[in-house]
Amino acid sequence: MSYDKVLQAQQIVIGTKQAVKALNQGLVQALVVADDADPRLTQKVRERATELEIPVLHVDSMKKLGKACGIAVGAAAVAIIR
């Protein structure tokens, strides 16, 4: 499950804007995107990950993804850093 990958990751970046920055810097190993997030919100980060051939993993819930990151709010996208 992708939630486990987030929990096991040593370093993560939370949020679509921060994930795009990390992708542009070449730091990302994998991207985790919540399927219940607004597609307009996650479109740019998904496209950038695809361009860079970074695996995009999907989870069902923003709330659960946020909880896996240790935050009290939902997360639309999380980048797992190398």
Where are the chain's structural domains? 2-81
Taking residue 49's Cβ as centre, other Cβ atoms within 10 Å add up to 23
**The CATH number, out of the four listed (3.40.50.2000, 3.40.50.880, 3.30.1330.30, 3.50.50.60), of the domain defined by the range 2-81:** 3.30.1330.30
Task: Give the burial string for 62-71 (b: 16+ CB within 10 Å, else e).
Answer: bebbbbbbee
- What is the pLDDT at residue 50? 97
- What is the pLDDT at residue 53? 98
Nearby residues of 43 by Cβ (< 8 Å), 6 or more positions away: none
pLDDT along the chain (82 residues), means of 10: 88 98 98 97 97 97 96 97 93
